[in-house]
Structure 1
Amino acid sequence: MDYDPGLPPRDHGDSNDPNPSFDHGPVAAEIEGSSNAEANHQRGRNGRAPSDLCSGGEIETEEEEEEEEGFRSPGNSGYYGEGEISSALARIEEVDDGRNSAEIWARWKHHSNEDDASASWRKRKKHFFILSHSGKPIYSRYGDEHKLAGFSATLQAIISVVEISGDHVKLIRAGNHQVVFLVKGPIYLVCISCTKEPCEELMGQLELIYGQMLLILTKSIDRCFEKNPNYDMTPLLAGTDLVFSSLVHAFSWNPSIFLHAYTCLPLPYATRQAASAILQDVADSGILFAVLMCKHKVISLVGAQDASLHPDDMLLLANFILSSESFRTTETFSPICLPRYNPMAFLYAYIHFFDVDTYLTLLTTSSEAFYHLKDCRIRIENVLSKSKVLIEIQRSILEGGLFVEDLPFGVSLQSGGVDAKMSESLSSFMGLGVPGGLWHFIYKSIYLDQYVSSEFSPPVSNSNQQKRLLRAYQRLYASMHDIGNSSHKTQFRRDNDYVLLCWITPDFELYAAFDPLADKVLAVDICNKVCQWVRDLENEIFFLGASPFSW
């Protein structure tokens, strides 16, 4: 099934050229759908999706998606949830505490009064569903899972009919909607979206939702379905609805989702080294991983020899921790699974918050290590206090990250033949003080699997504008990493909202947004200056461990 995202013409350049030239070329992106059986069995060929969710006139595609209740709007400071998470389970087993599973979910569910007959439910721009292979609902972003049982059965039927024919359904297109399917053994995950995000990105988001479920339950949940195809997972996930909702909310604002990289809290090099030294000390005493974080940003992390922590696991672990108020109020020792590390086994996480933002996670394979990890935490806390690391962390939070207004331009920007009149005109556009009209950038170090992004500032100031820009980056990332377009290392794209420039080399990836009137030559010059600025600050904005992880 062909997919045409309607992207403007692509520009190409030489990735090894520090001042790449951009020559126009065609854009072609093809997304793999289901194979032959799709034409015979998928609903969606006639413009209709499961139930009538995608029926014409129901969705106002120009409106911004409503923010989840209880979450901060996309920004630079991270996200918090409200509520608690029930204790994770050390082993998967049947649970029957006499409560109706609907009652277990009700306390935590947003919009629980909605179902597929509700006008408000139909107007949601992006739905996520988890269901079992028997069609039993497990999670939905909006509405009551039990009221959506019929809708879940319809989704299950679509998957099953195609599988009976020996094929696998991946994508249905219906008007402005995409229905994306991900089958993981007895677990089915579905996204229905009209947000114009690339299919690959939606599939990646489903993978992360599945990974979040594994973090709580491990892949051994499959055995429960082997014993009982009608197994009800709801009691096992009681109280974790907020974890999934927080992750789904992060899809709109967190570049880690599509970059598969993590970001660090900016700190003086000596401060980060002091934190790393004490973490290394405790790691040598039998700890698998020691991670010090501030909100969703890494301060330092240390792993045992030959052990690596994938950025996706770090993302899911941070989301799990930050979604619970209980972790903030007491030290916790909880079994968790890192799906990229080992999806079949539990590790044990000791979690302690030093303050409202900064927390330590110590991971071990031993279920009897609580008191040892507590002693390690006390040692770490003493060192962090004496070396004033915690004070530096608070200072960094107050100061924020990188601002495009602080980009050093030197004496002149008139390189590449850009005259002074043009430079002055661009720098004054919309009252911005940044020469060249640079609005925002993301720089990813490929070697470190880390990224740094500038803080949002005017005119990208409110949550809807930030969400729109992040989704534009997503589309740019997907087009640049499409297998059929692997030879293209640069892209310059102009539309009514902004100019986007992407530059990929073996060492880094750069994504930058400029005002719509930006000059291409000047934009390329600005991007070179951004790269140099990041390299000058790398000791402060990246974690440069002596033994970088290799995932």
Structure 2
Amino acid sequence: MFQDDASSSWRKRKKHFFILSNSGKPIYSRYGDEHKLAGFSATLQAIISFVENSGDHIKFVRAGKHQIVFLVKGPIYLVCISCTEESYEGLRGQLELMYGQLLLILTKSVNKCFEKNPRFDMATLLGGTDAVFLSLIHAFSWNPATFLHAYTCLPLAQSTRQAASAVLQDIADSGVLFALLMCEHKVISLVGAQKATLHPDDILLLANFILSSGSFRTSESFVPICLPRYNPMAYLHAYVHFFDEHTYVTLLTTRSDAFYDLKDSRAHIQNALLKSNVLIEVQRSLHENALRVEDLPTNPSSQSASHPPESSQDISSQSLSSEMAIGGPGGLWHFIYKSIYLDQFVSSEFPSPISNKKQKKGLYKAYQKLYASMHDKATGPHKTQFRRDEDYVLFCWITQDFELYAAFNPLADKTQAIKMCNRVCQWVRDLENEIFVYGESTLSW
């Protein structure tokens, strides 16, 4: 905690995040004491200013194994120094989310403080929020929502989700701007007032803020928050209540005096959820409804999906060794499916070949690289990509309707991998009413 830039342990960290002002004042650092890093922050500010004074904008610098990525947002500078081999696009996206998390707490109106006083110390306004930023940084290595810009739902029977949506719809009709019922970071149901839209990044940042703050779990709360994608300049007011250890409701309103009205609305929601057994079904889903590649159906119920086009690069097939065939059929280890129309994704559980934390982080980094490569504006966009390395085979397939990212064991056959991806797509279609918030009847946006 009290490391500074002269500390060898501080320098050995693989990934740093910094937030500083345009006067060089430190605002946040992932590692070390911000006040002891004042000189280092001033150096970062000087680099940015030097480039801007020459009429240019700095994006990133490579120094040996390290990549230094810069993001300038008015008077606020965000910097990531990384030797994790993540792409520039991926790291910049993470800095954008860090900035979004800052706005959720303070709004963009904080810029006015810098206009009045260029040496304004913003760190004092963020006191006690280190856990929020640290939780978001950890999410970069486990939550696909951070690079897919989509949200995931808790798998539930369609009738159960409709019951939850119906009671939230009643509340939304009474003046609430957004009503969200969530289980940890997964959406159970969400409803918005007419013409109000909630961006997946705002859902991610809001859930991170709530789940990383222990006080929300112990009592009902009413706090000002900003949804940066909805309106970065203004606060909304969020009523948050946990029904149990994992499940909570968030009611968002423009009214600062709505606490008691929302408290009554929450009681109505809770009674309705208990009567319809929604909370019981949520707990059951937590333990039973995860998608596992081992359960991939042999013969999907509907017609098979259209085959992705073959990659132009010919990659030789190799036979599977028995010890690596653990997981799903065809050597399938894991997949992420994103519905482009719904801005939602679903991912499978990790099988035994990817069991420890390091392996999971490694796969997510590989997915992030694949995502950045597929969406590279300079060389793409691309429709398919097939990669093989010593750890796994990665296959990506993008259409106008969905994006599929799949990992197979490193000896998987290419033709079989394509067949498995078709089966995954059909499986998701067969389950869509259970794994997605689906249909206009659920949302009144």
CA offsets 1:129-152 (integer angstroms, 9 cap, x no match): 000000000000000001100000
Mapping of residues 339-488 of structure 1, within 5 Å = 339-410=228-299, 426=320, 428-430=322-324, 432-488=326-382
Mapping of residues 539-550 of structure 1, within 5 Å = 539-546=433-440
**Paired residue secondary structure (2:36):** coil
**Paired residue secondary structure (1:426):** coil
* Counterparts in 2 of 1:183 and 1:475: CA distance versus 1, 3 Å: same
The counterpart of 2:400, out of the listed 494, 500, 506, is: 506
State the distance in 2 between where 1:359 and 1:293 align. Answer: 6
State the distance in 2 between where 1:429 and 1:119 align. Answer: 41
1:173 equivalent in alignment to 2:65 = no
Partner of 2:214 in structure 1? 325
State the distance in 1 between where 2:105 and 2:72 align. Answer: 19
Q: Is the 8 A contact 1:136 1:232 kept in 2?
A: yes
What is the total number of aligned residue pairs between the two structures? 431
Q: Is the 8 A contact 1:264 1:299 kept in 2?
A: yes
The counterpart of 1:140, out of the listed 15, 22, 29, is: 29
Percent of aligned pairs sharing the same letter? 75
Q: Which amino acid aligns with 1:439?
A: W
1:276 equivalent in alignment to 2:165 = yes
State the distance in 2 between where 1:392 and 1:426 align. Answer: 39
Q: Is the 8 A contact 1:292 1:300 kept in 2?
A: yes
Greater share of residues in helix = 2
Mapping of residues 51-450 of structure 1, within 5 Å = 112-410=1-299, 426=320, 428-430=322-324, 432-450=326-344
State the distance in 1 between where 2:398 and 2:327 align. Answer: 27
1:429 Cα offset (Å) = 3.9
1:548 Cα offset (Å) = 7.5
Q: Which amino acid aligns with 1:325?
A: G
* Counterparts in 2 of 1:379 and 1:424: CA distance versus 1, 3 Å: farther
* Counterparts in 2 of 1:274 and 1:550: CA distance versus 1, 3 Å: closer
Q: Is the 8 A contact 1:300 1:543 kept in 2?
A: yes
CA offsets 1:294-335 (integer angstroms, 9 cap, x no match): 000000000000000000000000000001111001000000
Q: Which amino acid aligns with 1:185?
A: G
1:515 equivalent in alignment to 2:409 = yes
Partner of 1:63 in structure 2? none
Q: Is the 8 A contact 2:296 2:329 kept in 1?
A: no
**Paired residue secondary structure (2:320):** helix
Partner of 1:81 in structure 2? none
Q: Is the 8 A contact 1:424 1:435 kept in 2?
A: no
1:234 Cα offset (Å) = 1.8
Q: Is the 8 A contact 1:137 1:152 kept in 2?
A: yes
Q: For structure 1, which segment, 539-548 or 388-397, has the greater mean C-alpha deviation from structure 2 after superposition?
A: 539-548
**Paired residue secondary structure (2:360):** helix
State the distance in 2 between where 1:229 and 1:522 align. Answer: 60
CA offsets 1:25-52 (integer angstroms, 9 cap, x no match): xxxxxxxxxxxxxxxxxxxxxxxxxxxx
State the distance in 2 between where 1:379 and 1:223 align. Answer: 41
Q: Which amino acid aligns with 1:266?
A: P
1:428 Cα offset (Å) = 3.2
State the distance in 2 between where 1:361 and 1:329 align. Answer: 15
Q: Which amino acid aligns with 2:251?
A: L
* Counterparts in 2 of 1:146 and 1:459: CA distance versus 1, 3 Å: same
Q: Which amino acid aligns with 1:533?
A: W
1:520 Cα offset (Å) = 0.5
CA offsets 1:346-399 (integer angstroms, 9 cap, x no match): 000000000010000000000011111111100000000000000000001111
State the distance in 1 between where 2:30 and 2:85 align. Answer: 18
* Counterparts in 2 of 1:134 and 1:550: CA distance versus 1, 3 Å: farther
CA offsets 1:129-185 (integer angstroms, 9 cap, x no match): 000000000000000001100000000000011111111111101111110000111
Q: Is the 8 A contact 2:370 2:396 kept in 1?
A: yes
State the distance in 2 between where 1:113 and 1:397 align. Answer: 39
**Paired residue secondary structure (1:220):** helix
1:113 Cα offset (Å) = 1.7
Q: Is the 8 A contact 1:308 1:550 kept in 2?
A: no
Instruction: Please list every run of at least 4 consecutive aligned residues from structure 1 whose deviation after the TM superposition is greater than 2 angstroms.
Output: 423-431, 484-488, 547-551
Q: Is the 8 A contact 1:308 1:549 kept in 2?
A: no
1:433 Cα offset (Å) = 5.0
State the distance in 1 between where 2:370 and 2:444 align. Answer: 26
5+ residue gaps in structure 2? Answer: 301-306, 308-316
State the distance in 2 between where 1:192 and 1:204 align. Answer: 14
* Counterparts in 2 of 1:424 and 1:502: CA distance versus 1, 3 Å: closer
State the distance in 1 between where 2:61 and 2:444 align. Answer: 36
**Paired residue secondary structure (1:440):** strand
Q: Is the 8 A contact 1:287 1:304 kept in 2?
A: yes
Q: Cα RMSD between the aligned structures?
A: 1.8
